Chain A
Amino acid sequence: MSRESTIDNVRTSLPIAKTHWPLVFLTLGACAAFLLFPYDLGFMTRILIMMVFVISFDLILGYAGIATLGHAAMYGCGAYAAGLFAVHISPDPLLGLASGAAMGALIAFVSGLLLMRAHGLSLLMLSIAVTMVLQEIASKARDVTGGADGLTGISMGPILGVFEFDFIGKTAYWYAFCALFVILALLRILVASPFGLALRGIKDSSSRMRAIGTPVYWRKVTAYVIAGAIAGIAGALSAQITSLVSVEVFNFALSAEVMVMLVLGGSGRLYGALIGTLVFMTVHHVAASIDPFNWLFAIGFMVLGIVFFLPDGLISLPKRIRRMIGAVR
């Protein structure tokens, strides 16, 4: 049996990249949301940005099995890179995104060289440490970053020289959506590629992967760098759309929230990341607007309930229901 056919066999057995329906659904969903909630574009744009961020975390946690609590490091670096790029070099949004991605990838590479050698608890601790160091730098380098007051003076030019950022946030919404769409399409190809399969193999058993000759360490570093670039893009989007970057982009809470959203939706599945983000942020938003003072209870109970009853995340809900109906029969 040739190597190619083995991959094909494995590939067909995996629930990925078989149809394009999910991308179509995503597009339809975005259009419907745009038409149904024209007053919530600011909030929905934040959801889209968060989806980009969570999906990048899915690549390392869900696919490669690398659990970190410092994913905000790359998000923050991307945000500052895009912000500084807009202030000092060019107001072009797409170039700004590229600078965010480059910075996210760079910081992921530098920290990844160390982090990917660690496992388990030490990896968690080290990744938190990296983020804290970056936050301290951002807070101290006041002349460059504006420190705790935030980096101000970001004004964006029109996208592709045509689409101006508007007051209601229509441009920002579609801009974030396009970014998410492109990244998702690329990631679908990536996770179905031999590289994606290698990551899954590493997650299941890194010693076996090493035994069959996979350079486990470098595969993990590569995954981390790709995830870093995507997280950098998410940060850049937020910097460009808010026109302000504050040191809170490196907050521990952000890294933790990303993990919660991913686990909620179902890790190891690209759409799990999207669903988890959507549900978490929507419940957060609705609960917070109903009761701005005690909404955290609602979030807490929801997360508890889902982790308890659906350990594989929301994306496993249809399968669960099917199984329950089967059991009743």
Chain B
Amino acid sequence: MTALIRAQALSKKFGSKTVLDNLNFSLEAGDPIALIGPNGAGKTTLFSLLCGYISPSAGQLEILGHKPGSSSLFGRVSALPQDAQLDPNFSVQTQLEFYGRLQGMNPATAKAETARVLALVDLADNGKQKATALSHGMRKRVAIAQALLGQPELVMLDEPTAGLDPVNAMQVRKLIASLSKEATFIISSHNIFELERLCGTVLYLEHGRLQQQQPTHQQGVAGYLTVQLEPGDNQRVQLLLSQLPGVQKVELLQKNEFGLCYDRELCPDLDLTVLALLRAEGLPYRQLTLGRSLEQQLFSVVNG
């Protein structure tokens, strides 16, 4: 089976600056994939390489068995490139229909597809407008709409919810979740909680190197429980939790958030035990998560 994306010894330099350094990874089609990293980590450069906007300085990169930018990938791979804008001289509808035509659709299909994708991003009534007449958030949604034209197998979204208001950001997340059975999404974002909800695999880049590639919930079943409570006496709660049978260590992660390391064999139902304890002690909880949050997974490993 051909991997969705395969990178071998992939490097990219701009002048003397190495932006991506010897990346090796292979990704399969399936659940959305998160691309995470601090500013300057090389996320957008990796996106640009995947889209064929730039060429690698060394190594190999393949998408569905082809080089990025290959004509074999037209219509199969789509993207929301960062900061790309539509032509201000034409309406959104005209341009999306044109893109559909380039993807091989006949005029009627291109028109219907344009209407479909604009409706998906809640812009069905804005097709006649030019991109310059739209707000920043609407332009972003139009750019997402163009990425959904046709039936792409791989959709790469660079910061899809950046600049969107919370309601529209939630709609975009819902949209990605609803379409993730039809195409594999790769999403770059700084919003780690968003990626945790959406994605099954995470690629963590830092200083141009791939620090981790793992399932987002890999360590979730390996004896760790995250408990978030209403504000209260943290010392008391920490003591109560640490006295539970099977619990090896209780960490205060953030204000009112505790991480419990425990032995799963000794206490397979610790979550139920914790809930019973909280109820008995009159401690209202906000969230109970099996495993570490993605943030903890990434930064507990990366930072020590």
User: Do A and B make up one complex?
Assistant: no
Point out residues on B near A: beta carbons under 8 Å.
none
